[in-house]
Amino acid sequence: MGSKKLKAVAVRGNQRIGLVDRSEMKETLKWITSTYQDSMKWAVDYGTSGSVQYNHDSGGMAVKNYLKGVLEDVSALSGDEFHQALVVERDTCSGCPVRCKIVVESDEPKIDKPYGGPEYESIGALGSLCEVNDPHAVANANQLCAAYGLDTISTGVTVAFAIECAEHGLLDGRLGDGLALSWGDAEAIVELVRRIARRDGIGDVLADGVKLAAQRIGGGAEAFAMHAGGQELPMHDARYEPALGLAYAVDPTPGRHNTANGGFIDVEALHDVFETEDVSLSGRYAYHQKGVEFALLNRYMQVVNCAGLCMFSLMMGQPPVRGWINTATGWALSLEELLRIGHRVQVLRHAFNLREGLPPGGASLPDRVKGYPPLEKGPLRGVSLDMEAMKQDYFRAMGYDEDGMPTRELLDSLGLTGVADDLQGLRG
């Protein structure tokens, strides 16, 4: 769509989307209201800001451009303290009882309700990643991103990149207008977000993300650019959840935490999936089987994504995903059949990238994100990831060769013979 300069597709109809068994669907939907209150208490109480303290204390939250494992006074950005400082309302996606969206308001700095409020990722990217623990500054930067249409993850990672570049003297004479960047300087960080949005001065250098910015700045700036395949990394540290690092590297849309969230491997909703394939979960840092586990999770996640379900539903016990799909469509899909559909989806996504010239082995991660060198303090001290072992395990589990190319046998078995023919010229 982007290459064709197509911005949107608008479709209008006048018929209702039907359900094969509306009464049965009502019964399955009762599961949500009977389950969410206990299983999603952190989100029910505080929205996604309720996960900040836990993620930080466990080591799962990115701090200081992935250089540190601890942020001082992180509690100001989490849960009750954050809500007391800013939150005035709650909002929700249509029909969802969790209401994890927050609405913030402030007189100084001026923060308006129509812009909503920062979610966990925004709090991490514009807060902990830049060593900022001021909730008003985070909300102000989030509002600027919303007003200008900027992604908060990419913007926060770019700001943290710029701070580290400035720290190493790579931006001397380029900041302009007396802007001095340093870790934790909330006022300067908000101003830099504004300049990025307007492509003003140094903002023009940074506005296309860290990969291109590093190329423009040079002088070793690539070492400070936290991205996978050009996509700025989310606020979930791969050193805490290795399967998430694997997702950042090998998913066809690299560097994302929601399309194939490796952090969901041990949720109750996936128990049946692993039992069906006779796979027992290994330890967090048992790399020899991490790829198999992630491949299975990935197949199920593609089904959830294609069904239009919120990924938070997988944190609510064992949601009847198969029941919802079968009740709505009249199908009688087994779990094995759903997993095969998810497998097909993932392989097709991968094959599209291959056809368009992307490397089959996926994206590489920055050394520090992999734990080279390892952190010396915090919950993740001493942790380094064996990315190659996980990737090779994943390739085998998916039916790819050691370079990440889907085998002819795999494609034929999934009914993708036409795709196999299209990729034939790319093999060796």
Tell me the domains of the chain and their CATH numbers: 42-232 (1.10.569.10), 242-426 (1.10.599.10)
Q: Please report how many Cα atoms fall inside a 13 Å half-sphere around the Cα of residue 427, on the Cβ side.
A: 14
**Phi-psi bin for 318: left (phi > 0), alpha (psi -120 to 50), beta?**
beta
The CA-to-CA distance between both ends of the chain, in Å, stands at 30
- Are 77 and 52 in contact, with CB atoms under 8 Å apart? yes
- 41-72 residue pLDDT tens: 888 889 999 999 999 999 999 999 999 999 99
Q: Which among 192, 58, 201 is positioned nearest to 125, based on CA atoms?
A: 192
> What would the two tokens of residue 198 be?
């307007």
- Are 79 and 45 in contact, with CB atoms under 8 Å apart? yes
95 phi/psi in degrees, rounded to 5? 80, 0
> What would the two tokens of residue 162 be?
């710029």
CA separation for the pair 288, 386 (Å, rounded): 9
Q: What is the dihedral of CA 292, 259, 101, 149, to 10 degrees?
A: 150
CA separation for the pair 296, 406 (Å, rounded): 16
The DSSP bridge pattern shows strands 101-104 and 87-91 to be: antiparallel
Rounded to the nearest 10 degrees, the angle between the axes of helix 290-306 and helix 321-329 is 30
SS3 state at 43: helix
Query: What pLDDT score was predicted for residue 427?
Result: 66
- Are 211 and 227 in contact, with CB atoms under 8 Å apart? yes
Q: Alpha helix locations (H) across 289-416?
A: 290-306, 321-329, 335-355, 367-370, 387-398, 408-413
Q: What is the dihedral of CA 190, 57, 309, 320, to 10 degrees?
A: -170
Element (H, E) at 197: helix 186-198
Q: What is the dihedral of CA 314, 320, 321, 323, to 10 degrees?
A: 180
Place of tokens 């650019």: 225
Element (H, E) at 163: helix 152-167
- Are 352 and 420 in contact, with CB atoms under 8 Å apart? no
Q: Which among 106, 111, 128, 115 is positioned nearest to 52, based on CA atoms?
A: 128
100 phi/psi in degrees, rounded to 5? -85, -5
CA separation for the pair 223, 211 (Å, rounded): 10
> What are the pLDDT tens digits along the chain (428 aa)?
667 788 888 988 898 878 898 888 888 778 877 787 778 888 888 999 999 999 999 999 999 999 999 999 999 999 999 999 999 999 888 878 788 899 999 999 999 999 999 999 999 999 999 999 999 999 999 999 999 999 999 999 999 999 999 999 999 988 877 899 999 999 999 999 999 999 999 999 999 999 999 999 999 999 999 999 999 999 999 999 999 999 999 999 999 998 878 888 889 999 999 999 999 998 899 998 999 999 999 999 999 999 999 888 888 888 899 999 999 999 999 999 999 999 999 999 999 999 999 999 999 999 999 999 999 999 999 999 999 999 999 999 999 999 999 999 999 999 999 999 989 877 65
Query: What pLDDT score was predicted for residue 43?
Result: 86
Query: What pLDDT score was predicted for residue 428?
Result: 57
276 CB burial (10 A radius; 0-12, 13-18, 19+):
middle
- Are 393 and 292 in contact, with CB atoms under 8 Å apart? yes
> What would the two tokens of residue 206 be?
């940074």
SS3 state at 193: helix
Query: What pLDDT score was predicted for residue 26?
Result: 84
In DSSP notation, 82-127 reads: HHHHHEEEEE-STT-SS--EEEE-BTTTTB-GGG----HHHHHHHT
> What would the two tokens of residue 12 be?
């209008």
- 123-177 residue pLDDT tens: 999 999 999 999 999 999 999 999 999 999 999 999 999 999 999 999 998 887 7
Longest dimension (CA), the chain: 68
CA separation for the pair 240, 242 (Å, rounded): 6
- Are 179 and 83 in contact, with CB atoms under 8 Å apart? no
Query: What pLDDT score was predicted for residue 313?
Result: 87
